[in-house]
Amino acid sequence: MDGGGWVSVQGDLIEQRQRQRILEPMERFLTIIIENVTEGIIAKARATGATSSSTRRPRR
């Protein structure tokens, strides 16, 4: 911009924050399960078919 000025970008974050509020308790719950289960856990992504596994021992 000749002679100076400024540019502003704004976005609506309401939906993103709502989704975040829903996902945070789920994430905490799943973390507790994964950290305390004695058996292995295998997860498969529907979209890609990628798998991941966890064989952690529970905390004492």
**Residue 2 covered by a domain:** no
**Residue 20 covered by a domain:** yes
**Residue 59 covered by a domain:** no
State pLDDT tens for residues 6-56: 888 888 899 999 999 999 999 999 889 888 888 888 889 899 989 988 776
Counting residues of the chain whose pLDDT is more than 90, the rounded percentage is 30
CA separation for the pair 26, 17 (Å, rounded): 15
What phi, psi does 34 have (nearest 5°)?
A: -60, -40
**Residue 1 covered by a domain:** no
**Total structural domains in the chain?**
1
- Output the pTM of the full model: 0.51
**Residue 39 covered by a domain:** yes
Which range of residues forms the domain containing residue 27? Answer: 14-43+50-54
Write the CB contacts of 36 (distance below 8 Å, at least 6 apart in sequence): 58, 59
CA separation for the pair 56, 50 (Å, rounded): 20
Assigned token pair, 16: 């993103």
**Residue 29 covered by a domain:** yes
Confidence label for 60 from pLDDT (cuts 50, 70 and 90): low
